Amino acid sequence: ITFLFCRLVFQSSTSVWLFSVFIVLLVLNLFHSSPKEREPPGPRGLPLIGNLFQVDLKRLDQNLFNLSKEYGPVFQVSFGPKKVVVLAGYRTVKQALVNHAEEFGSREINPIFHIFNQGHGILFSNGDSWKEMRRFALTTLKDFGMGRKMSEEIIIEECRYLIQEFELFKGTAFKNTQAISYAVSNVISALMFGKRFDYKDPVLQAMVERDNETIHLTGSASIQIYNFIPWLGPFLKNWRDIVKNVEDGKADVRKKIAELKETLDPELCRCFIDAFLLHREHLEDSDTSSSYYHDENLLYSVANLFAAGTDTTATTLKWCLLYMAKFPQVQDRVQEELSRVVGNRQVQTEDRKNLPYTDAVIHESHRMANIAPIAIPHTASKDVSFQGYFIKKGTTVFPLLTSVLYDESEWESPHSFNPSHFLDEEGKFVRRDAFMPFSAGRRACLGESLARMEIFLFLTSLLQHFRFTPSPGVSVDDLDLEPLVGFTLAPKPQKLCAVLRL
């Protein structure tokens, strides 16, 4: 009887204990699953591998866009052991980057970005150093006329060189990608180095080609995997090519800095590098302590501005010309408007307000090209509750710009080239809030005003002089609009004819 009694008590105590544990776990689970603490949803992954077998790294933005339709505007995927939160749709991306700019304003410094900048410069840095370098860059570039009359004169001069380059082909088919890249590069070179380069200059060619290759390789599947499994780096050819490109690029920029340093004149500030060096001298002369104006920040800031100032603008221009050849009726209307409003004189920036259709075509080209589909990844700077989900400090965040520029709730025909997206019923240009190719918030492109001016002046100047058509024997239907996927989306190399207009 005593044995049975003890057993009953033991069983009862065990049951009570187990029941108590169950209640505690239930309460903890409810607490953990409360709106403040629950993690964003997402596809179930495998241990260690995560969702790597469920995502297409060759066109990640489209894959994530499709997943957003299943899991909502805030969801997460796992790349190996690393969780990434994806923000999809105009309203969600704007809310995060603008309304929660502080929480989502830090840059994700993944392994390949660390190789690029070592934590210095502007694009791939954080903290007070980033704030100071970005502030200095904005102030200095504005002093040199970024987005204003001074930079307009530089661009218009470069337009003439680019037109001369196109004229050499006398209407025969050619690949215009290099010439466009060199022309755009010369605009940022004038601001960085105080000079332009001849298109045949081997230094210009090497710098542009290296940056193009690096940007393409950075978006490759092998480099994306490297970012999550860094020890693989030395075994990957793409990694080795990028490391070599970065080192060669730094050597070229260091040489330019040294040349300008030798001829530095306190009474004549010729370019961004001069401005940096003179500002540093001023701080030293006034015994003002600043740990940010050192050689590495100068080196990487110049490299960042040169690469970003060349690739994105040149790539957008290449898309614009391809769209003109692909949609000849659109090209006709742009050229008719240019002839009617501007005539044969050089287009000026102030003409833009009187060229609504041309402006709409440029904006639609930006939207459709979608050259930075995931922007540059962000990271949560602190724990944040966002749209009912808990996002932990340090979590990588992808603002999915594809989902903004192709948002079906914002655009009438998101997957078609339709300049009417930016025109009202009277044919006047209208701005659209969901037009966000330059991203938004603290990390928005600092060269946006310069890029807008360049694309407008280069494109209109070219269309005044040339009609762009496919190669002989190639129909407009044969022109391929599928992008060449890298870190940015570029048009596939295709020959076009630049036929001189009479």
93: nearest Cα among 417, 383, 433: 433
Q: Cβ neighbours of residue 26 under 8 Å, at least 6 residues apart? A: none
Contact 403/88 with Cβ under 8 angstroms?
Answer: yes
Secondary structure (DSSP) of 212-251? HHHHHHHTSHHHHHHHHSGGGGGG-HHHHHHHHHHHHHHH
Residue 353 belongs to a domain: yes
Mean pLDDT of 409-426: 97
- pLDDT of 257 reads 97
Average pLDDT score over the chain: 91
- pLDDT of 148 reads 75
Residue 24 belongs to a domain: no
Count of domains for the chain: 1
Q: Cβ neighbours of residue 224 under 8 Å, at least 6 residues apart? A: 57, 60, 79
Residue 275 belongs to a domain: yes
DSSP state of 46: B
Contact 194/270 with Cβ under 8 angstroms?
Answer: yes
Mean pLDDT of 14-38: 44
242 exposure class (CB count in 10 Å sphere: 0-12, 13-18, 19+): buried
Contact 321/331 with Cβ under 8 angstroms?
Answer: no
445 is annotated as contributing to ligand binding: yes
Residue 16 belongs to a domain: no
Provide the domain limits for residue 282. 38-500
Residue 25 belongs to a domain: no
Mean pLDDT of 321-328: 98
Strands 82-87 and 396-399: parallel
The band of 502, judged by pLDDT with boundaries at 50, 70 and 90, is confident
Higher pLDDT, 29 or 301: 301
Mean pLDDT of 446-464: 96
* CATH number, domain containing residue 158: 1.10.630.10
Q: Is the pLDDT of residue 291 over 90?
A: no
The band of 85, judged by pLDDT with boundaries at 50, 70 and 90, is very high
Q: Hey, is 86 helix, strand or coil?
A: strand
Residue 33 belongs to a domain: no
Residue 51 belongs to a domain: yes
> What does each C-alpha distance from 222 to 102, 233, 372 come to in angstroms?
32, 9, 19
- pLDDT of 8 reads 39
Sheet containing strand 173-174, strands side by side? 173-174, 496-500, 466-470
Cα(239)–Cα(258) distance, rounded to whole angstroms? Answer: 29
Cα(435)–Cα(406) distance, rounded to whole angstroms? Answer: 10
Q: Is the pLDDT of residue 113 over 80?
A: yes
Cα(221)–Cα(58) distance, rounded to whole angstroms? Answer: 6
Helical packing angle, 202-218 and 237-262, nearest 10°: 140
∠ CA 245-319-301, nearest 5°, is 35
- pLDDT of 150 reads 82
Mean pLDDT of 275-284: 93
| Tens digit of each residue's pLDDT (9 = 90 or more) over 30-83 | 444 444 469 999 999 898 889 988 899 989 999 999 999 999 999 999 998 899
Cα(264)–Cα(277) distance, rounded to whole angstroms? Answer: 8
Mean pLDDT of 188-203: 96
The band of 289, judged by pLDDT with boundaries at 50, 70 and 90, is low
| Tens digit of each residue's pLDDT (9 = 90 or more) over 119-157 | 999 999 999 999 999 999 999 998 887 767 788 999 999
- pLDDT of 24 reads 40
